[in-house]
């Protein structure tokens, strides 16, 4: 029975989830090369990689059958800055008027 690994990548225009035949000793770089993503889309210069949502630091990381290799895009804006801007547009006072918890 053949075993597989998957390579996942989402560009702004398209999403990819490609099944690749697993081979013993396969690395992340091998899986990406076998997926053919380089021919289908323009991958970033430096790859931010993960396996099942856990970041890895090297494309020479060994895979296990069933792993999903994820290629992440670099962030365009810091998530904390997004929350700060949203809070500036919709300020909530520290103290609210009225008494929400009236006792009878």
77-97 mean pLDDT: 76
Mind listing the pLDDT tens digit for each residue in 32-86? 999 888 888 778 777 889 999 899 888 888 999 989 999 988 777 888 888 888 8
* Domain-located, residue 95: no
Measured distance CA(37)–CA(52) in Å, rounded: 18
* Domain-located, residue 14: yes
Measured distance CA(8)–CA(50) in Å, rounded: 10
Which residues face 27 on adjacent strands? 62
DSSP SS3 for 52: coil
- Taking Cα atoms as reference points, which of 77, 30, 22, 65 lies closest to residue 49? 30
pLDDT at 104 over 80: no
Give residue 12's domain range. Answer: 4-89
| Pairing verdict, β 4-10 and 68-72 | parallel
CATH of the domain at 55: 3.10.20.30
* Domain-located, residue 11: yes
Measured distance CA(26)–CA(56) in Å, rounded: 15
């Amino acid at each position: 029975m053949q075993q597989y690994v998957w390579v996942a990548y989402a560009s702004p225009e398209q999403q990819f989830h490609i099944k690749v035949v697993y081979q013993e000793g396969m690395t992340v770089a091998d899986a990406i090369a076998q997926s053919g993503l380089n021919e289908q889309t323009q991958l970033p210069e430096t790859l931010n990689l993960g396996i099942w949502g856990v970041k890895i630091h090297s494309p020479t990381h060994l895979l296990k059958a069933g792993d999903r290799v994820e290629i992440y895009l670099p962030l365009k804006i810091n998530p904390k800055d997004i929350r700060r801007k949203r809070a500036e547009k919709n300020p909530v006072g520290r103290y609210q008027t009225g008494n929400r918890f009236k006792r009878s």
